[in-house]
Structure 1
Amino acid sequence: MRLPFYIQLPFLTLQIFLFLDPSPPWNLFGAVAIALICWLIISPSVFVSWNIDTGVGYVDYMLGSTIASYAVHSFYLLSLGRPLKSIKNGDKLKVHEHWWKRILHVAHVMQSPRGVGWNYQVNNVPAAPRQPRRSFILTSSLRAACHAVLFEVARLYVWYNPACSSVTVETRSYVARCADTIAFIGLTYWGLNAGYFAMAAGSVALGLHEPRMWLDLFGSWRDAYTVRRAWGRTWHQTLKWFLAPLGKATSSVLGFKRGTSRSLYAQVYVAFLLSGLVHTGGDIVLSGSTTTAASRPLFSMPFFFSQAVVITFEDGLIRIARRLGVKDSAWTRALGFVWVAVWFGWCVPGFVENMIRAGGGIRKSASRDMGPNLVQAAMIRLFGFDIGEFAESWFGA
Structure 2
Amino acid sequence: MALDMSSGSLSWLVPFFFGQAVFLWLFVLLLLGTTAQATTKRVLGLVVLGAVTYFQEYLIVQICLARNRPLWAGTAGSLLWVQLLSASDLLLALRVDSSQLPPGQTSSTHAAGLLWSMRRIGTRWQVKTAAAASQQSRAGFVFSRAATTLGVYLFVDFLVSMPPPDPSLIQISKATLFSLHELHTEDVIFRVSMTIAYWVSTGVLVLFMNNLGAIVVVLLNISQPEDCIPLFGSFLDAFTVRRFWGVTWHQMFRSFLTGHADLVVDNFLPFLPRHSLISRYTRLAIAFFISGAIHYRADQLMGVPNNENGAIIFFMLHALVIMAEDTIAPVVSAVLPLSIRRILGLFWVLIFFVWSTPIWSYANTRVGNDAASLLPVRLIGPWAAQYLNAT
Taking the aligned partners of 1:336 and 1:155, their CA distance within structure 2 comes to 31
> In the alignment, which of 263, 270, 278 is matched to residue 286 of structure 2?
270
Gaps of at least 5 residues in structure 1 are: 378-385
Q: Does 1:144 align with 2:149?
A: yes
Taking the aligned partners of 1:200 and 1:80, their CA distance within structure 2 comes to 25
**Residue of structure 1 equivalent to 2:159:** 154
**Residue of structure 2 equivalent to 1:120:** 125
Q: Does 1:191 align with 2:205?
A: yes
Listed one character per residue, the Cα deviations across residues 15-74 of structure 1 (whole Å, up to 9, x for unaligned) are: 22222225432321222233344445557xx776x4342423333222232233234334
Taking the aligned partners of 1:314 and 1:124, their CA distance within structure 2 comes to 19
Q: Does 1:64 align with 2:77?
A: yes
SS at match of 1:215: coil
Deviation at 1:388, TM superposition (A): 1.1
Q: Where in structure 2 are the equivalents of 1:60-139 lying within 5 Å?
A: 60-85=73-98, 87-89=100-102, 96=106, 101=107, 103-130=108-135, 139=144
* TM-score (norm. length: structure 2): 0.78
SS at match of 1:278: helix
* TM-score (norm. length: structure 1): 0.77
How many residues were matched structurally? 360
Q: Is the 8 A contact 2:87 2:115 kept in 1?
A: no
Q: Is the 8 A contact 2:16 2:60 kept in 1?
A: no
Q: Where in structure 2 are the equivalents of 1:305-384 lying within 5 Å?
A: 305-322=316-333, 325-326=334-335, 328-357=337-366, 359=367, 361-363=368-370, 367=373, 370-376=375-381
**Residue of structure 1 equivalent to 2:259:** 245
Deviation at 1:335, TM superposition (A): 0.8
Between 1:301-310 and 1:60-69, the stretch displaced more is: 60-69
Q: 1:237 to 1:300 in 2, by over 3 A?
A: same
Q: Which runs of 4+ in 1 moved over 6 A?
A: 132-135, 201-208
Q: Where in structure 2 are the equivalents of 1:226-305 lying within 5 Å?
A: 226-253=240-267, 254-255=269-270, 256-286=272-302, 289=303, 296=307, 298-305=309-316
Deviation at 1:299, TM superposition (A): 2.6
Q: 1:147 to 1:305 in 2, by over 3 A?
A: same
> In the alignment, which of 60, 63, 74 is matched to residue 51 of structure 1?
63
Q: Is the 8 A contact 1:154 1:184 kept in 2?
A: no
Deviation at 1:239, TM superposition (A): 0.4
Q: 1:203 to 1:283 in 2, by over 3 A?
A: closer
Q: 1:370 to 1:204 in 2, by over 3 A?
A: closer
Q: 1:36 to 1:227 in 2, by over 3 A?
A: same
Q: Is the 8 A contact 1:19 1:84 kept in 2?
A: no
Q: Is the 8 A contact 2:238 2:248 kept in 1?
A: yes
Q: Is the 8 A contact 1:126 1:220 kept in 2?
A: no
Deviation at 1:304, TM superposition (A): 1.1
**Residue of structure 2 equivalent to 1:16:** 25
**Residue of structure 2 equivalent to 1:388:** 385
Q: Is the 8 A contact 1:140 1:197 kept in 2?
A: yes
Listed one character per residue, the Cα deviations across residues 221-240 of structure 1 (whole Å, up to 9, x for unaligned) are: 12211101101112241001
Deviation at 1:245, TM superposition (A): 2.0
Gaps of at least 5 residues in structure 2 are: 1-6, 175-185
CA-based RMSD: 3.4
Q: 1:3 to 1:146 in 2, by over 3 A?
A: farther
Q: Does 1:225 align with 2:239?
A: yes
